[in-house]
Amino acid sequence: MLRWLSNATSLENLVLSGCGSLSYESLQVALGALSNLKGLDLSYNFLQGTILGILNNVSSRGLKHLDLSFNQLSGDISPRSLRDLEYLDLSTNSIVNVHILASLGNLTNLRHLDLGGNSISGEIPPIVGDSVRLEFLDLSDNDIIGEIPQSIGNLTNLIILDLSYNNIVGSIPETFGALIRMKLLYLDDNQISGEIPATIGGLQNLLELILKGNSFTGQIPDTIGRLHSLKYLDISNNNLSGAKFPDWIQTQQRLQGLYLSGVGVSDLSNNHFSGEIPKELPTLVGLRFLNLSNNHLTGMIPENIGDMKLLESLDLSENSLTGEIPSSFSAMYFLAHLNLSYNNLSGKIPTSGQLSTFDSWTYVGNKDLCGTPLPACPVYQTPPDARVKDDEKLDKLLEYTSIVVGFWLFIGTLIMKQAIRFAFFRRIDKTSDWVYVQFAVKLAKLKSKWQTMT
């Protein structure tokens, strides 16, 4: 299959991604003839063997782009023969030795490095900070331990940093404040502790900040409020105890995803945001995902929450929210996920809009909620004795009215003089109007009371 490559000596870019039938041995032979390669993509072939076994037969002088991702390769690289390399993707392979990171100092032109999804164990060496041209660094989903080196602050060209899903400990280095070009920062699902440093607020270009699933303590620094480009913020499942709901959240007009949830009321690693949900929160009209579950929020759901018309997912479960569910929910046409369970909400569930599409699990744990899909709200009947008394009052009012009107009509027939008769009849008209008004008012009150009780 690859014999034709022996005649393609001037080939500069070779893409054999996802070919399936490629064998490690045939590649070793075929690549030996390609002395002018600048780009090589062998991703998604599940090749077994060593990285060096493939590269040893490649004239790597001038090689700038190398993608060996989604294979089963192991071992190390030869940094001296890859000095021109700008793009290196070795993600989702079988690399275990952290020594491969120590080679980075010699790759002075490297801008993109992806080693995610391997089994690399050990600490990140300080020499990583020497790769000052790096713009993309992904070491996620490995077995990296130890602390993040202070030298990582030297990577001032870094735009994306992903260290998620490892076993990193310690705190975030203060030197992170120097990474001012950073747009995506993922440190989630590690064992990082201490407070979130205020220097994070200096990353003015940050679009996504994901810190969930660590052991951060203290309060969220107010400096995060300076990140006006932020679209996604997830600091859920930490130890941010005693924290008041951050006021600066309402200034983040570009936010699309906000996750401040905990992990359960019985778990010590939940967040404990307290107080009411700010009434200004619904001004974040671009928000699509909002999760405030597992906290200690009190008060009512903001009446104007329906202003968040683009919201697709809302989770307010396991708090201490009270009052009725606002009718403005009917304006949320894109709402596909809703969880209001385990609060102290009361009243009838509105049936308009998307609320009619959710099942009972959405509202479970609110003992004073009623209506579809929960059991029907109770019908309050007027006690029989009360109805009898109201009937008697109505009969007496009608009786008195007929007597008064009849009396004035009788007196009128006895008056003969025209002037006096006109005066009396005008008096009768006024009196009749007054009686009518009084009758109508009392009748309206009785009807209103009757409707309320039934």
Half-sphere exposure of 70 (CA within 13 A, CB side): 10
Instruction: Find out whether 92 and 68 touch, Cβ atoms under 8 Å.
Output: no
* Exposure letters 395-431 (e unless 16+ CB within 10 A, then b): eeeeeebeeeeeebeeeeeeeeeeeeeeebeeeeeee
Name the most confidently modeled range: 51-55, 123-127, 417-421, 450-454. 123-127
> Which of 81-95, 233-247, 252-266 has maximum average pLDDT?
81-95
Q: How far apart are the first and last CA of the chain?
A: 85
Query: Mean of the pLDDT values across residues 290-310?
Result: 92
How many residues are given for the chain?
A: 454
269, pLDDT greater than 50? no
Structure token digits, residue 306: 């329906």
- CA pair distance 315, 326, nearest whole angstrom: 15
Other C-beta atoms closer than 10 Å to the C-beta of 22 total 19
| Residues β-bridged to residue 275 | 297
- Cα–Cα distance, 434 to 446 (Å, whole number): 18
Contact 453, 380 (CB under 8 A): yes
CB 147 within 8 A of CB 172: no
Mean of pLDDT values over 306-327: 94
**Rounded CA gap, 191 and 66, in Å?**
32
More confident residue, 80 or 301: 301
- pLDDT over threshold 70, residue 127: yes
Pick the more confident residue, 106 or 135.
135
Tell me the H-state helices in 75-185. Answer: 99-102
Band of residue 403 on the pLDDT scale cut at 50, 70, 90: low
| pLDDT score, position 43 | 95
Query: Which of 131, 110, 63 shows the shortest CA–CA distance to 54?
Result: 63
Over range 37-61, report the average pLDDT. 85
pLDDT of residue 80: 75
Q: Please tell me the predicted confidence (pLDDT) of residue 58.
A: 75
